[in-house]
Every structure is written in structure tokens, then in C-alpha cells.
Structure 1
Amino acid sequence: MSEDHKKQLEQQLWNIANTLRGKMNADEFRDYILGFIFYKYLAEKMEIYANAILQPDGIQFTDIDENSPEGQEYIDAIREEALEKLGYFLKPSELFTSIAKRGNFNDDGEPLVKEEESTYSTKTNFILEDLQKILNNVQNSTMGTESEEDFDNLFEDMDLNSTKLGKTPEARNEIIAKVLAHLDNIDFQLDQTELDVLGDAYEYLIGKFASGAGKKAGEFYTPQEVSMVLAKLVTTGKKKLKSVYDPTCGSGSLLLRVAKEVEEVNNFYGQELNRTTYNLARMNMILHGVHYRKFDIKQEDTLEHPQHIDLRFEAIVANPPFSANWSANQLFMTDDRFSQYGKLAPKSKADFAFIQHMVHHLAENGQMAVVLPHGALFRGSAEGHIREYLIKEKNYLDAVIGLPANIFYGTSIPTCILVFKKCKEHPNDILFIDASEHYEKVKTQNVLTQENIDKIITTYRERKTEDKYSYVATLDEIAENDYNLNIPRYVDTFEEEAPVDIDAVMANIKSLETQRAELDKEIDGYFKELGLNFFNA
């Protein structure tokens, strides 16, 4: 598929999303449109899979009469195989196309609503109850199977009876039927297995919603350019990964970005506190073709209630909430994640608590990259103590990378990336990169270009010192700075101002004084003509 075709799909989906824009805020209509796209994806995958099974019999899945004994036999056989392979099951009457057509066409196949007619023509068939039942059935089909947890309450944020969709059931039905009809006209091309066009389009939509979500965007989305940097950092020197983990996984985009940098990832792990975002992450995994057995996303507070505590991961990436609050309960001093440091991160700044948690989960051959606010580089007290322990006692810190300000949605603060390894190839030093002035301004946001990204990654991988951009600091230098990692201490970006020519400045001032005297004389002449005294005016 060409890049133009991909962009066309993205624009089509965004246009459909805007059908709901006037009815609710970005957060709310995001959940509906992404949910409907996900349902269409599940339905099309189901149909493709069932048709492959039925091919020897020369029939299509939609040809099956669900009410006949023979049809029921087919349904039962396909259900058993689909639950094993896909993790869920939909009957022919529950497919996306079936319900979309039911809402918008009469029994003779004639459209009930013409394109030029009003969205609220009240001519659509009533499908809300059937649609709600189908979405529930997706979950119900998995009960008692391996995939039950992965599909549990996936559509819970899509309240089809919400008055935000319309004041009356008829109005709500009308808008939903219209959205389904538009989506039904789009070919996701899921039969072309080498393409992940829909996955890319889904990511595009998530990014568009994030750009309009303000401060809330940070809860579920890391800008793609930053994701790319993190993914390239943790996959340096790797072609295959046994596992990748994100303790604050949001929509799962960062985990999926890591997979694009290597040939294969065996397993994806993540944890997310926000329930709605947790649902989005599971949808995102499935929609990108990650088999339900290959991902394990949990919903809980990562610091207070870790869900993968005994596991170690080859790659770890994270964009935790900046300087978040946490309990800092003294009971954590007996927790293996924190006990060896002697101090806990402060209650009002959990940045180093997330680092300690991630270090605990890092495999001996693993690499980890985490985004933090700049304050984590130099703040003292408990944070300074933990920072010193990680460098002096453990020697896990591999690199510090300064990013531009105003690069994340919802906050303009400058940020940095810390890279950790338990087995460093360069155990005697730490690389510092100052990429804070290397960006492109797009509207009100600063953006890393591909050139900016490549420069960061090349500098990291070649581990080189470059004037005003990077510096390889020895551990002795770090110690001399009392383990303060503030980047300007190591990368000198000071630009000398051009020397001032005093004689030229004085000559210029003298010339200006002469010009002023001449102007005063000229103005005085005008005043005298008017019978006025210029100097006493």
C-alpha cells in the first residue's frame, strides 16, 4: 500500500471520528470511535478466519443459516477453533457489516438514509440493543478460556445509552448507525497480512486525540518521535527480544514501537492504572496482531501493587507521570525493589521510585530507557542519595539525554531520558547528550525530526563527544560533581558573543548626536515660523 493510501485511510477515520466531535469532548468520542474501529477489526478477522476454515466446503461464513441444525454444527465447530486461534468468537449475524447494514438498509437492500440527507433523518432501523448485545457477546464468548482476561470488559467505556450521544434513543441510534455505515465503507485490507496499515491508522488517531486532550494526554500517549528514541535505545545491538515491559504503558503504543525496531518480540508486558486507558492498551495490542497469549497487560497501581514482580525483562521503556505522588510507605523499605537503597523517593516525587521499580525488573542482559523531568538529574535529599547509589554502588547508568522543552502534550517542561544497563559495555563512563536545541517548531509544539532522532541515536551508539552536543564523562567526573547529572555541567553549550568594537560604537554614538543636533535645529526653525519657542515647548 502506498503512503498516500495510508494517509487517505487515516483521514477517512478522522473524518468519521468528527461525526461525534460536536456531541462530546475528545476523551469521550475517542472511546466510541476507537471502540467501533476495534469491533470492525474483530469482525473482519473473524470472517477471514472462518472463510479459510470453510473453504473446503465451498461456502462463506455469511452463507451459514444460524437457525438450521447444519448451520449450528458449523457455528459450533468454528467457535471452538476461533477461541483457540483468535481468542474470541462472533456469529455471522454479529459481524460489523451485518449490524451496519441492519441499521442503514431496509429488507430490500435499499439505503434508509441518503448521503445528502440530514444525519438525524430518523429513518434508520433501531439497532442499539442488538449492538450492545453483540459487544457483550464478544466478552462472553471468551469466558472460561485462556483469553478471558484479555477481553474482559473491553467495551465498557462505550455506553450506547449515554445522553451525550443524543437526548433520545432515536437520536442516539441515528448517530451510531451513521458512524457504522461510514466505517463499513472502508476496506481495512486485513487479508493482506504483511501490512499493518490499520494499526498505523489506529496509532494516528490516538495521537490526534492526544493532541487535543491537553494535560490528560500524558495519561495515555507518548509522542511518536519520543517513542522512537526510547525504542531505538533499548534495542541497540538486538534483533530479537524475549520480552519488553512498560510499567506505565498507557495505550501500549510504546511497547508496540519497540516491536517495530526488531525482527521479533516474544512477549509484551505492561501495567496501567487508568481503567479506560488499560482497555485502550489491550485493544491496541490485539488490533496490531499481537496474539492474546503474547501480551500480558494488567490494570493496577504499578508502585503500590506491582503485577509482574517476579519477572525480569530484556527491554524496559517508560514515560511515567512526571513527579507523581505515591504513598512512600515505610513498609516499602522491606520491598526488594527499594530496600537496598536505604531511602525511598519522596511522596510528592515518585520519579526515582519508578526507576527503582524498573531496575528491579531489568534482566542482566537488559536495557532500559525512561523519560523524566529535568529535576530528577539534580534534586538532592533522598533522590540525590538514590541517584548516587545507582551510579556509585551499582554503576547501572549508561547515558543521560536532554530533550527539548514543550515536546510532550500537556506540559512545556524540559525532559530527559535516562538509559540504564546492568552489564555496561563502557563501565567507566556515562554519556551525556544535549539535544534540547535540536527540534522543529510545529504550531505550538516542539517536534523531533527524523534528523534529530538519528543524531541522538547515532551519538549514543557511537558514544562520541561532540562540541556543544555530547560528552563522555568519567565516573570520577561524576563523583566530583557530587553525582549531580545536570547536563550543562558536562556539555558546554555556551556561545561566546562577538567581541564589541568600542571605537565603532563611540563613533556611531557621535554620529547619532550630530544627527540629533541637526534635527533639533530644523524643528526649531518650524516652531519659529509658528511663533513658538521649540526649546521651551
Structure 2
Amino acid sequence: MSKTDISQDTINGAIWSACDTFRGTVDPSIYKDYVLTMLFLKYVSDVWQDHYDDYKKQYGDHPELIEDMLKNERFVLPPKANFYALYEARHQPGNGERIDKALHAIEDANLGKLRDVFQDISFNSNKLGDEQQKNDILRHLLEDFAKPELNLRPSRIGQLDIIGNAYEFLIKNFASTSGKKAGEFYTPPEVSSLMARLMAPKAGDDICDPTCGSGSLLMKCGRLIREQTGARKYALFGQEAIGSTWALAKMNMFLHGEDNHRIEWGDTLRNPKLLEGAGLKHFDIVVANPPFSLEKWGHENADNDPHARYRRGVPPRTKGDYAFILHMVETMKPKSGRMAVVVPHGVLFRGAAEGRIRKHLIDENLLDVVIGLPEKLFYGTGIPAAILVFRKKKADEKVLFIDASRDYQDGKNQNFLRESDLQRILDTVAARKSVDKYAFLATREQIAENDYNLNIPRYVDTFEEEAEIDLVAVRKEREELKKELAKLETQMSAYLKELGYE
């Protein structure tokens, strides 16, 4: 197969077919980690082998030079830890143990980039069945990834992003087939693209996602900067509470060549780890799709928060939406800080503590845009969501409301935002003007008159008046139809008479 024969779809299809090894035996929420980790192992093995072969052609008689050149690679691959050594031994007992040892050897050789990444994944786990079943499953998995279609050498595939894209393809498919549990670590690509474009990232920006999942939203922001400048002049920061999902983010960053990142593992609300000295680190851009209405978010310790994140009010005990919002607001840089966050619609209008927090944020002129999205966009939930945009430095003291809930492509089980839908939102935000039945630019006084309720229909009237009925025209049409009916009756009687029916 030549380089011109290779397509993203070919690689995606081959990797998705490899999942057949697990289907019917292991739940997708479990086997996703094994498939994604094997993709990572195969990729680093192919890159290493490709570079080794190139150096051998140049310095074949000087193995010490080859060794020196390999030391300059982005990562180190110990000799017995590569995919091909595991593939050669696939018929022997102990596939799970051998793969685990290889992963830990790779981690130990690359601690700066991969520390603790594989601690939550074990190919030797009884989740894959008894010893015989486990060995067979892993043998088939190794054989799946050894197929010619999954030769991932740079000399064959050309661009690094084809692997990163395959990784994203897998994560998306696991999210859509595994329901809510898998959907927690993935934001639909159109939504993450919209949020990144709303933030307009620039070279030199520090970009943070405090609930980063697999890192797709962060990388969308970075990609925009690379497309504009051709350089990776930015830094990505994130924190993720679930260990296996944090590992996905680390591997995802590695596969996309995002070396300038810092992804921490831990609970952002209870134990924020992105610190500068004793305080929270500040960022130019903060983006997130936090868990909706998280029940146990840390209310019991909120009054004693060392970072004073809840000085505008403590969110309700069983709904953590505003806890994430307040955390993000506190981490925006004083001048350049801007943020976009996905929220359930209840955040816009619920009262009591949330109403008081909302009033503070509006009175401080931090809230910039409210965007209502269509239903069934997010994996695992059919409810519509909204995007809130906050800025430390705003152009005015108004809030732009956009009702984008009716602009989407209807999918079988999932709706999608089209490029035209995204562009309409972005153009409306840029123009910052009211648009009939789509957007309304509200003053702070108008919002106050609504008791700081941000429910979009209070501001954007989408009601379509029914056309007035012209009764005279209807009566005239009715008379014409009666004449036509009488004419047809006369013709029918004549036909029946000719046929001998009276």
C-alpha cells in the first residue's frame, strides 16, 4: 500500500474493527482503555522503528552514532518494550503480564512525559476473563494491530495528526456507543470547536480546562493558534478527576505532539492542582464542559475554601454547576482573561443561592454572552445545554443572548451542529447586535427587571405569528369548489346513464 492509498477513514476503520476482539465479552466502557492504550503503544513503536531504520541507513557501521541520535527523540522506547516484541511472543502464555511490563518500562524511560499514565490500566486484569480467555483476547488484539492497514510509521502515513485524529475518532465512538459513562470524558467536536473559536486564542496564550477529560477541547484551542501562526507558541493546562481519563488525556497530548502541557490528576473543586505559589494559577483562556449538576462537589468545605472561590456565594449542596463557574472565573487573568463553559439550562434561572451568585457575576460585568444550544448534542443526555461566555474586559455593559436551539442537523440518535450553524453564532457574537427571533443584546437594567433570570425566551422572542386568514377569499374559494363539484356530479350522472344505470 503506497502513501497515496492511505486515508484517515482506512486507519479509523481498521482500528474500529480491532474492537471486535472485545465485543460481546467485555463492556465498551472497559475495553476502550485497552484499545486506546494499544494504539498508543503501536504508534510509538512504529515511530521509533522508522527513525531507527533511517539512522541505520545513514550510520550503519557506527551503532554508537545510531544510539546517540535516538537519544534526541521525543521519547525513549526500551528494546523489549516495543509492540513487535510483544507480537512475536503472542502465542506464549502471559500476554497480559508482558504488555504491562512493556508499558511500565516505557513509563520509566519517559517519566517527564508519561509518569503514572499506565498505573490505572492492566492488561493482566481479570476484567478480560480467566487466563486462557485473556491470553486469547490479547493475542487477537496484537494481531489486529499488526495488520498492514495499521502500519503507523511516519514514512507511510506522512502526518502526525492522522494518528491523533484516529485517537479522537475512537474516543468519540466510545462516547457515542457507551452512553453517559463514556460521554463524561468527551465533548462533541462541533461544540468544542465553537467554544475554541469563541475564545479566539492567540500566540502566547495560557489555556486551561479544569475538567479536561481526554483533552480534546484544549487541543482545539491549540490547533487554532497553529493554523494562524504555524507555531506551537502556547501552553495547555488541565485537570481531570478520573484516573483512567487523565491517562487518556496524557496519551492524547503525546500523540498530537503537544509537549508544552501540564495535565494534573485530581478533583478541581476539592483539590485544585494548577497553582502558582500558594494561589490559583491564572490563564488567558479557560474552557470547560463540567459534569452537569454534580451532586457531591465539596459543599461541606466551601466556606473554608483557601482560594476564596465562593465569596460571591456558596452553590447548593446538590448542584455543583456554579462551583465550577466560580472556580473558572477566579482563574481568569485580570486583563486578558476570557472563558466559555457548557451548562444545563437550570443555571440560567434557578433561584436562591444560584440566583444571588448570578446577580454578582452580572453586576460585576463579567457575563458577556449566553448561547442556547439544540437538544441531543451531548452523549448520554438528551437535554439542551447552553454556553456561557465571560470576559474580564468587556466592550460594553450588556449581555448578548442567542437562541441557536433550532439550528442543527437531525441525526438518528444524536443531533449535530453544522458549520453554517457555528458560523451564524460566531458572526452574531462578532456583530454584537440584536437579530430578530435569534439574538437580543440586553442591558444590565433589562436583566435586573427580569430579576437576573437569564432564561433565553425572556429576551429572544422566537414566536412565529400565524398568517391572518382572509375569510372573504376562503368563502370565494368555497363557492368555486361547490360549482366544480356540481359540474362533476352532472358529468358523472351522464356517464352512468350511458352505461344503463339510472
The TM-score, its normalising length taken from structure 1, stands at: 0.80
Judge which range, 256-265 or 50-59, deviates more.
50-59
Out of 121, 130, 151, the position equivalent to 1:157 is 121
Q: Contact between 2:104 and 2:118, CA under 8 Å: does it hold in 1? A: no
Paired amino acid for 1:332 = D
Determine the C-alpha separation between the residues in 2 that align with 1:345 and 1:396: 18
SS at match of 1:230: helix
Tell whether 2:422 aligns with 1:459. no
SS at match of 1:7: helix
Give, in angstroms, the shift of residue 2 of structure 1: 7.4
Judge which range, 29-38 or 238-247, deviates more.
238-247
Q: Contact between 2:284 and 2:332, CA under 8 Å: does it hold in 1? A: yes
Aligned ranges 1:390-409 → 2 under 5 Å = 390-392=361-363, 394-409=364-379
The residue that corresponds to 1:449 in the other structure is 418
Aligned ranges 1:121-132 → 2 under 5 Å = 124-126=91-93, 128=95, 129-132=97-100
Q: Contact between 1:337 and 1:357, CA under 8 Å: does it hold in 2? A: no
Give, in angstroms, the shift of residue 460 of structure 1: 1.2
The residue that corresponds to 1:65 in the other structure is none
Q: Contact between 2:34 and 2:121, CA under 8 Å: does it hold in 1? A: yes
Determine the C-alpha separation between the residues in 2 that align with 1:311 and 1:152: 23
C-alpha distance after superposition, 1:291-321 (max 9, x if no partner): 2xx1111111111110113311111110000
Give, in angstroms, the shift of residue 480 of structure 1: 2.0
Paired amino acid for 1:196 = D
The residue that corresponds to 2:489 in the other structure is none
The residue that corresponds to 1:488 in the other structure is 457
| Alpha carbons of structure 1 residues 18 and 265: separation in structure 2 relative to 1, 3 Å | farther
Determine the C-alpha separation between the residues in 2 that align with 1:133 and 1:338: 43
| Alpha carbons of structure 1 residues 2 and 461: separation in structure 2 relative to 1, 3 Å | farther
C-alpha distance after superposition, 1:386-445 (max 9, x if no partner): 1111111x2111101000011111111111000011011x22211111100101111021
Paired amino acid for 1:183 = F
Give, in angstroms, the shift of residue 51 of structure 1: 4.8
Out of 385, 390, 406, the position equivalent to 1:420 is 390
RMSD: 2.8
C-alpha distance after superposition, 1:344-370 (max 9, x if no partner): 111111111111100111112022100
Out of 85, 97, 107, the position equivalent to 1:98 is 85
Give, in angstroms, the shift of residue 481 of structure 1: 1.7
Give, in angstroms, the shift of residue 465 of structure 1: 2.1
The residue that corresponds to 2:46 in the other structure is 44
Determine the C-alpha separation between the residues in 1 that align with 2:281 and 2:54: 38
Q: Contact between 1:403 and 1:417, CA under 8 Å: does it hold in 2? A: yes
C-alpha distance after superposition, 1:369-392 (max 9, x if no partner): 000001111111111111111111
Give, in angstroms, the shift of residue 218 of structure 1: 3.1
The residue that corresponds to 1:438 in the other structure is 407
C-alpha distance after superposition, 1:53-87 (max 9, x if no partner): 5554226xxxxxxxxxx97x7797567x25xx534
SS at match of 1:407: coil
Tell whether 2:154 aligns with 1:190. yes
Paired amino acid for 1:177 = R
Determine the C-alpha separation between the residues in 1 that align with 2:294 and 2:462: 31
Give, in angstroms, the shift of residue 153 of structure 1: 4.1
SS at match of 2:21: coil
The residue that corresponds to 2:326 in the other structure is 356
SS at match of 1:471: strand
Q: Contact between 2:402 and 2:439, CA under 8 Å: does it hold in 1? A: yes
Determine the C-alpha separation between the residues in 2 that align with 1:323 and 1:2: 48
The residue that corresponds to 2:261 in the other structure is 295
Tell whether 2:331 aligns with 1:329. no
Aligned ranges 1:268-347 → 2 under 5 Å = 268-291=236-259, 294-309=260-275, 310-325=280-295, 326-329=297-300, 331-341=302-312, 343-347=313-317
Determine the C-alpha separation between the residues in 1 that align with 2:319 and 2:472: 54
The residue that corresponds to 1:89 in the other structure is 77
SS at match of 2:207: strand
Tell whether 2:18 aligns with 1:16. yes
Give, in angstroms, the shift of residue 504 of structure 1: 7.8
Determine the C-alpha separation between the residues in 1 that align with 2:170 and 2:291: 22
SS at match of 2:30: helix
SS at match of 1:485: coil
Judge which range, 210-219 or 26-35, deviates more.
210-219
| Alpha carbons of structure 1 residues 248 and 98: separation in structure 2 relative to 1, 3 Å | same
Tell whether 2:101 aligns with 1:133. yes
Out of 28, 34, 40, the position equivalent to 2:30 is 28
SS at match of 2:7: helix
Paired amino acid for 1:47 = Q
Paired amino acid for 2:99 = L
Tell whether 2:456 aligns with 1:468. no
Q: Contact between 2:59 and 2:66, CA under 8 Å: does it hold in 1? A: no
The residue that corresponds to 2:360 in the other structure is 389
Q: How many residues align?
A: 465
Q: Contact between 2:45 and 2:82, CA under 8 Å: does it hold in 1? A: yes
C-alpha distance after superposition, 1:469-503 (max 9, x if no partner): 11211222222222211111111101112234567
Q: Contact between 1:46 and 1:90, CA under 8 Å: does it hold in 2? A: no
Paired amino acid for 2:183 = G
Give, in angstroms, the shift of residue 243 of structure 1: 1.5
The residue that corresponds to 2:340 in the other structure is 369
C-alpha distance after superposition, 1:312-346 (max 9, x if no partner): 111111000011122223553553342531x2111
The residue that corresponds to 2:493 in the other structure is none
| Alpha carbons of structure 1 residues 281 and 382: separation in structure 2 relative to 1, 3 Å | same
Paired amino acid for 1:34 = L
- Runs of at least 5 residues in structure 1 that lack an aligned partner in the other structure: 60-69, 104-123, 516-537
The residue that corresponds to 2:136 in the other structure is 174
Judge which range, 503-512 or 437-446, deviates more.
503-512
Out of 222, 225, 230, the position equivalent to 1:262 is 225
Paired amino acid for 2:82 = L
Aligned ranges 1:229-268 → 2 under 5 Å = 229-235=194-200, 238-263=201-226, 264-268=232-236
SS at match of 1:416: strand
Paired amino acid for 2:265 = Q
Determine the C-alpha separation between the residues in 2 that align with 1:2 and 1:388: 58
Paired amino acid for 1:29 = Y
Paired amino acid for 2:322 = F
Determine the C-alpha separation between the residues in 2 that align with 1:331 and 1:212: 36
Paired amino acid for 2:288 = A
The TM-score, its normalising length taken from structure 2, stands at: 0.85
SS at match of 1:22: coil
Q: Contact between 2:50 and 2:153, CA under 8 Å: does it hold in 1? A: no
Judge which range, 482-491 or 370-379, deviates more.
482-491
Q: Contact between 1:278 and 1:297, CA under 8 Å: does it hold in 2? A: yes
Identical-pair percentage: 38
Judge which range, 460-469 or 3-12, deviates more.
3-12
| Alpha carbons of structure 1 residues 13 and 334: separation in structure 2 relative to 1, 3 Å | closer
The residue that corresponds to 1:479 in the other structure is 448
